């Protein structure tokens, strides 16, 4: 029955199995669309899963859609309102999240998820001292609440106290040792401390929990590149492009790595894939990884490949002409040195937003 499904979904969440938690919570909602506990659990599981891999970000919007819909029917339910606040901050709406969380706390000052949501709303808004105050209060009241320990880690990290961030995220991991996003956050704080070994170990933990995780492979590629472990970097980034051929970031990182190694032809090929994907996917110009054009052009210039350099440069100029980004790539009016007759950029040349 419904309560069994929700209990099973909760157990799945507590062992870090977000996919199962989401499936069972959705099943409970099919049986009873007004099941508030199922919506609360489902939205929370979706939010955590959204940080799990490269293609799960849309889960955050799905979580907010869920809570927004149900809160119209049950506007007085405090747990639902706290879950809604949690979804709002995850979707980078800090003012609305803080307002929703405060209203819950006015009625129940000890509401753990509301306090966590308020702390995270402050964090999203960049009010780091307030975020730390609220997350400390959440942990004091709910020391065994994973969300509270994670919020405290985020607050410590935002305040530059990475040792304490590590301590808090490890407390969160102690409460749910199979929740993948916690390991990405653990790695981030380790890197801020220059602790490459701990960061590597955290990413390896992700792969131990999810052997096909693409995001962990990209992070390991970046880390290997940083350590100048060239073969490992190429291997990890190649694995990213094989598993996620439509993710521009993987092609960028692979192209960049080839560039750093002096293999400029391979750099051009992979960076071209990165720029092409971003145009095809109609990513707004302001959000594009423009290095894919710039480094591609640099590689072409080094190789003396004038046709590709001019095509890439003119595409870049046309693409950025009407956008708010700072112009980061400019040659003299006559074109790049050694390549004359650069065609003037026109609005229809390439790469619409």
Tens-of-pLDDT digits for all 353 residues of the chain?
778 899 999 999 999 999 999 999 999 999 898 899 999 999 999 999 999 999 999 999 999 999 999 999 999 999 999 999 999 999 999 999 999 999 999 999 999 999 999 999 999 999 999 999 999 999 999 999 999 999 999 999 999 999 999 999 999 999 999 999 999 999 999 999 999 999 999 999 999 999 999 999 999 999 999 999 999 999 999 999 999 999 999 999 999 999 999 999 999 999 999 999 999 999 999 999 999 999 999 999 999 999 999 999 999 989 988 888 876 788 888 888 888 654 444 333 333 33
CA angle 173-174-176, nearest 5°?
Answer: 60
Which residue ranges make up each domain of the chain? 246-353
For residues 307 and 341, is the Cβ–Cβ distance under 8 A? no
Measured in whole angstroms, how far is the alpha carbon of residue 27 from the centre of its chain? 27
Give the distance between the most distant pair of CA atoms in the chain.
Answer: 74
For residues 271 and 296, is the Cβ–Cβ distance under 8 A? yes
CA dihedral 24, 28, 34, 35 (to 10 degrees): -70
Helices (H), the chain: 2-14, 18-31, 36-49, 58-71, 78-90, 94-107, 112-125, 128-141, 146-158, 162-175, 180-192, 196-209, 214-226, 230-243, 248-261, 264-280, 291-303, 306-320
Sequence-separated (6 or more) residues with CB below 8 Å from residue 174: none
- Give domain 246-353's CATH number out of 2.60.40, 1.10.287, 1.25.40, 1.10.10: 1.25.40
Torsions phi, psi of 275, nearest 5?
-70, -40
For residues 6 and 41, is the Cβ–Cβ distance under 8 A? yes
> What is the CB-side half-sphere exposure of residue 56 using CA atoms within 13 A?
17
């Amino acid at each position: 029955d419904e309560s069994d499904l929700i209990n099973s979904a909760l157990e799945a969440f507590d062992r870090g199995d977000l996919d199962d938690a989401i499936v069972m919570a959705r099943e409970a909602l099919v049986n009873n669309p007004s099941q508030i506990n199922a919506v609360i659990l489902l939205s929370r599981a979706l939010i955590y899963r959204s940080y799990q891999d490269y293609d799960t970000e849309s889960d955050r919007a799905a979580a907010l859609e869920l809570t927004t819909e149900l809160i119209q029917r049950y506007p007085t339910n405090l747990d639902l309102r706290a879950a809604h606040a949690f979804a709002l901050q995850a979707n980078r709406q800090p003012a609305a999240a803080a307002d929703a969380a405060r209203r819950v706390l006015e009625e129940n000052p000890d509401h753990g998820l509301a306090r966590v949501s308020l702390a995270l709303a402050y964090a999203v808004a960049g009010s780091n001292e307030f975020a730390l105050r609220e997350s400390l209060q959440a942990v004091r009241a709910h020391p065994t609440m994973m969300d509270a320990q994670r919020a405290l880690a985020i607050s410590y990290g935002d305040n530059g106290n990475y040792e304490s961030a590590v301590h808090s995220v490890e407390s969160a991991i102690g409460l749910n040792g199979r929740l993948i996003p916690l390991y990405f956050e653990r790695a981030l704080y380790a890197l801020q401390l220059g602790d490459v070994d701990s960061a590597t170990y955290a990413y390896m933990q992700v792969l131990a929990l999810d052997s096909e995780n693409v995001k962990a492979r990209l992070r390991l590629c970046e880390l290997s590149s940083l350590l100048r472990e060239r073969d490992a970097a190429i291997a990890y980034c190649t694995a990213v492009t094989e598993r996620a051929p439509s993710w521009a970031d993987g092609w960028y990182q692979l192209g960049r790595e080839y560039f750093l190694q002096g293999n400029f032809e391979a750099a051009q090929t992979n960076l071209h894939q990165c720029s092409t994907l971003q145009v095809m996917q109609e990513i707004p110009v302001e959000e594009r990884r423009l290095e894919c054009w710039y480094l591609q052009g640099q590689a072409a210039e080094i190789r003396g490949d004038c046709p590709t350099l001019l095509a890439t440069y003119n595409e870049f100029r046309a693409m950025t002409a009407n956008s708010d980004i700072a112009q980061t790539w400019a040659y003299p009016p006559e074109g790049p040195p050694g390549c004359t007759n650069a065609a003037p950029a026109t609005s229809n040349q390439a790469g619409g937003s």
